[in-house]
Chains A and B, each alone.
Chain A
Amino acid sequence: MLALKQFRDSTRAWLEENCPPSMRTPMVPEEIVWGGRNTVFTNPESKLWLDRMAHRGWTCPTWPAEYGGGGLSGGEAKILAEELARINARVALTSFGISMLGPVLLEYGTHEQRMEHIPKIIRGEIRWCQGYSEPGSGSDLASLGTKAILEGDEYVVNGSKVWTSYADKADWIFCLVRTDFEVPKHSGISFLLFDMASKGVSTKPIQLISGSSPFCETFFDNVRVPAANLMGRLNEGWSIAKRLLQHERTMISGFGLASGQGDRGGTTSTTASLEGTAMHYRGDKDRLSDPALRDQIAQFKIDSEAFALTSQRSSEESKQGGPNATSSMLKYYGCELNKRRYELLLKAMGSQGLGWDGDEFEAEELQVTREWLRSKANSIEGGTAEVQLNIVAKRVLGLPDMLSLAGKT
Chain B
Amino acid sequence: MAMVLNEDQQLLRDSARNFCQNNAPISVVRRLRDEKSELGYDESIWQQMVELGWPGMAIAEQYGGFEFGYTGLGLVLEETGRTLASSPLIASVLLGASLLSEAGNGEQKSKLLPQIVAGELRLAVGVDEGPHHAPSRVACSAVKEGTEYILTGTKSFVLDGQTADKLIVSARTSGEPHSEGGISLFMLEANAQGLQIQRATMVDSRNAANLVMDQVRVSEDSLLGVEGLGFTALDTALDIARTGVASEMLGSVQEVFRRIVEYLKQREQFGVQIGAFQALQHRAAQMYSEIELCRSAVLGALRCLDDPSATAKDRAIMASLVKAKLSEVSETVSNEGIQMHGGIGMTDEFDIGFFLKRARVAQQFLGDASFHRDRYAKLHNF
Measured CB to CB, the residues of A under 8 A from B are 275, 278-279, 283, 286-288, 294-295, 297-299, 301-303, 305-307, 309-310, 312-313, 316-317, 326, 329, 332-333, 386, 388-390, 392-394, 396-402, 405
Contact = CB atoms under 8 A, between A and B. Distances in A.
Which of A305, A333, A396 has most B Cβ within 10 Å?
A305
B380 interface: yes
A333 B289 contact: yes
B382 A400 contact: no
Contact of B382 (A294, A386, A396): A294
Given A307-B293, A393-B281, A400 B275 contact: yes
A309 B275 CA distance: 30
Contacts of B286: 389
6 contacts: A298-B374, A302-B324, A326-B292, A399-B273, A400-B272, A400-B276
B281 A310 contact: no
A307 B300 CA distance: 11
A393 B282 contact: yes
B382 A329 contact: no
Interface in B265-324: 265, 272-273, 275-278, 281-282, 284-286, 288-289, 292-297, 299-300, 321, 324
A298 B372 CA distance: 9
A295 B374 contact: yes
Contacts of A283: 382
B288 A392 contact: yes
A390 B382 CA distance: 38
A398 B288 CA distance: 12
A231 to B, nearest CB: 31
Contact of A278 (B282, B285, B382): B382
A302 B296 CA distance: 12
A392 B281 CA distance: 9
Given A275-B382, A389-B285, A400 B293 contact: no
Which of B265, B278, B285, B286 has most A Cβ within 10 Å?
B285
B293 A399 contact: no
B295 to A, nearest CB: 8
A153 B1 CA distance: 54
A278 B377 CA distance: 12
A275 B380 contact: yes
A264 B300 CA distance: 29
Closest 10 CB pairs of A and B: A393-B281, A313-B3, A309-B296, A392-B285, A298-B373, A399-B275, A306-B293, A389-B285, A310-B296, A275-B382
Interface string B359-380: 0000000000010011011101
A401 B276 CA distance: 6
Given A297-B377, A302-B373, A389 B4 contact: no
B208 to A, nearest CB: 28
A389 B2 contact: no
B325 interface: yes
A301 B278 contact: no
Nearest to A294: B377
A397 B261 contact: yes
B216 interface: no
A397 B285 contact: yes
Contacts of A397: 261, 275, 281, 284-285, 288
Contacts of A312: 3, 296
A309 B3 contact: yes
A329 B289 contact: yes
A287 B378 CA distance: 7
Contacts of B370: 295
B264 interface: yes
Given A329-B292, A399-B265, A400-B265, A393 B284 contact: yes
Contacts of B2: 316
Contact of B265 (A307, A326, A398, A402): A398
A388 B285 CA distance: 9
B281 A302 contact: no
Contact of A399 (B276, B294, B325, B328): B276
B281 A298 contact: no
Contact of B284 (A295, A303, A313, A399): A399
Contact of B272 (A303, A326, A394, A405): A405
Given A306-B294, A313-B4, A316-B3, A329 B288 contact: yes
Contacts of A386: 282
Contacts of B328: 299
Contacts of A316: 2-4
B147 interface: no
Given A303-B293, A400-B273, A298 B377 contact: yes
Which of B261, B293, B294, B325 has most A Cβ within 10 Å?
B293
Contacts of A333: 289, 293
A368 B286 CA distance: 28
Interface string B4-41: 10000000000000000000000000000000000000
A405 B380 contact: no
A397 B282 CA distance: 11
Contacts of A329: 285, 288-289, 292
B44 interface: no
Contacts of A278: 382
Contacts of A313: 3-4, 295-296, 299
A393 B287 CA distance: 11
Interface string B242-273: 00000000000000000001001100000011
A402 B325 contact: no
B282 to A, nearest CB: 5
A266 B243 CA distance: 32
Nearest to B376: A298
Contacts of B321: 302, 305-306
A297 B275 CA distance: 34
Interface in B121-145: none
A396 B292 CA distance: 12
A392 B264 CA distance: 14
A390 B281 CA distance: 7
Contacts of A309: 3, 293, 296-297, 299-300
B382 A393 contact: no
Which of A309, A316, A392 has most B Cβ within 10 Å?
A309
A279 B277 CA distance: 44
B288 to A, nearest CB: 6
Nearest to A288: B382
Contacts of A399: 261, 264-265, 273, 275-276, 281, 284
A402 B276 contact: yes
Contacts of B293: 303, 306-307, 309-310, 333
Given A306-B293, A310-B293, A333-B289, A301 B380 contact: yes
A392 B292 CA distance: 12
B219 to A, nearest CB: 42
A394 to B, nearest CB: 8
